[in-house]
Amino acid sequence: MSGDKYDWLKRTTTFSRIVNPELHAKPNLTVGAIGTGVFVFVLGNLLYQRHVLLQKQTEAQTPKLELLIKENEA
């Protein structure tokens, strides 16, 4: 085995390079910023979708609760 610490990069496939671009790029601020930006975007999108879903479920349940309250008051 050679002493080159990046020797494993020479044996990778094109598929691996496409799926894991940050493993094959030299570490720098631009690559880190892009990766972090994508991660934050995906996380934000998941949280937004969860919020919208919970809001729709709450709106769907609200009229039923109001009818039950009116029936119990009468």
Does 25 have pLDDT greater than 60?
yes
Does 31 have pLDDT greater than 70?
yes
pLDDT computed for residue 9 by the predictor: 64
DSSP the chain: --S-TTGGGGG--HHHHHH-HHHHSPP-HHHHHHHHHHHHHHHHHHHHHHHHHHHHHHHHHHHHHHHHHHHHH-
Does 69 have pLDDT greater than 80?
no
The chain-wide mean pLDDT, for the chain, equals: 81
Mean pLDDT value of segment 33-40: 93
The domain spans of the chain are 7-73
Q: pTM above the 0.75 mark?
A: no
pLDDT computed for residue 23 by the predictor: 76
